Amino acid sequence: MFSAWFGGFGSGLLAIALSFLTFNYYFVAPSHTLIIDVKELPRVFVFVLTALFAGLLSAAQRSTTESLKRARDELSGTVQELKRTNEALQAENAERIRADDALRNAQADLARVARLTTMGELTASIAHEVNQPLMAVVTNADTCLRWLTKDPPDLHEAREAAERIVGAGHRAGDIIRTIRALARKSTPEMTRFDVNSAISDVLTLTRGELQRHDVTLETDFTAGLEPVLGDRAQMQQVILNLIVNGIEAMTAGAHHPRVLRISSRMAGPGNVLIAVADTGTGLDPTKVAYIFDAFFTTKPEGMGMGLSICRSIIETHGGRLWASPNSPRGSVFQFTVPAAANGILNDGTG
């Protein structure tokens, strides 16, 4: 047994052979000789089987122990390798998270630059829109003073003039608030808001541009529309970009009636659909597949980022943006966003 345990199966067989010879020589009749009496054969046979069984069992046990030891060492090595792999994956995941954060910040900065660029193109129109309520304030203030200086003062007319001053001040404040919201630098702020109201604020900024280019505005807003969940300023950026693109498309085309139509409605369960249609030059069938690609533009001074950023914003909000021909001419840009009750954003918010 000890020979098989320490020396293996070969040593065990040698020890069995030597044990058989020793047992036969000293303990089997006739003794002191290797001749075996027939009567002793069963005894010798039992001895050989017992020794063989014990030796084989000991050798097998040693082999199993060594196998278990090797398996344990291999398992320990595998565990160490898995541990190193896990640490590498954690480091890679942390690096990916940092890269994703940097990408989101870069996208937010790029979107803000695009907003400021678009608003820069509308400077004259925005100044005109701000100037209107300010001039109304001055005019109504003069009127109010005249009614108060009458003898006797006409308080009713003065009160109405003062109320018009308050209304004009609120209009100017709303315009400034919209401009600040579009120009501010901040991370996306996901809130519930009325998309019709957001569109109306953008139209306030672009009303002068529509008048300057002789564009007729038509709106078809569904009343009682479900609120959407998202960043109001980013959503207004998409609408502003589509409106400006529509105006430019109609200005560059032939002298057809220039009509910009903006509508909102529910599109199936839990989705809000916004459409901006123009009567401009329309979509080039050979280029329509590329209009949302980054750096693709049909404008001589364009950067090719406006529509690409718009699609990225809408997709981040869990929606879809696409373009199609308008009838009888022009194009329609439409996008859907989930209503607040069903909004699930791609970045994990909401």
User: Does pLDDT of 197 surpass 60?
Assistant: yes
What average pLDDT does the segment 36-59 reach? 68
211 phi, psi to nearest 5 deg:
-70, -40
User: Does pLDDT of 18 surpass 90?
Assistant: no
Instruction: Work out the pLDDT band at 206, boundaries 50, 70, 90.
Output: confident
Residue 350: per-residue pLDDT = 36
User: Does pLDDT of 346 surpass 50?
Assistant: no
Query: Please, what is the Cα angle at 239 between 237 and 242, to 5 degrees?
Result: 105
Yes or no: say if 142 and 168 are a contact pair by the CB < 8 Å rule: no
Tell me the fold of 193-350.
Heat Shock Protein 90 (3.30.565)
Which residues have CB under 8 Å from 260's CB, separation 6+? 210, 215, 216, 217, 218, 243, 246, 247, 250, 276, 277, 278
What average pLDDT does the segment 233-238 reach? 85
Best mean pLDDT range from 26-40, 169-183, 269-283? 269-283
Q: Is 268 left (phi over 0), alpha (psi -120 to 50) or beta?
A: left
Residue 50: per-residue pLDDT = 74
User: Does pLDDT of 81 surpass 80?
Assistant: yes
CA distance 188 to 236: 13
Report the percent of the chain where pLDDT is more than 70. Answer: 65
Yes or no: say if 333 and 252 are a contact pair by the CB < 8 Å rule: no
Supply the mean pLDDT for the chain.
77
Among the ranges given (10-24, 58-72, 208-222), the one the predictor scored with the smallest mean pLDDT = 10-24
What average pLDDT does the segment 40-68 reach? 71
Give the model confidence (pLDDT) of 100-158 as tens digits.
777 666 666 656 666 666 666 566 656 656 766 787 788 888 888 888 888 888 888 88
Tell me the two tokens of residue 274.
């916004």
User: Does pLDDT of 87 surpass 80?
Assistant: yes
CA distance 268 to 11: 84
Instruction: Work out the pLDDT band at 8, boundaries 50, 70, 90.
Output: low
What average pLDDT does the segment 42-46 reach? 69
Tell me the two tokens of residue 157.
């007319």
CA distance 68 to 63: 9
Which residues have CB under 8 Å from 108's CB, separation 6+? 185, 187, 188
Residue 23: per-residue pLDDT = 60
122-185 under CATH 1.10.287, yes or no: yes
Give the model confidence (pLDDT) of 254-291 as tens digits.
677 899 999 999 887 788 999 999 998 888 777 777 67
Q: Which helix (H) or strand (E) holds 221?
A: strand 216-221
Which residues share a beta bridge with 231? 190
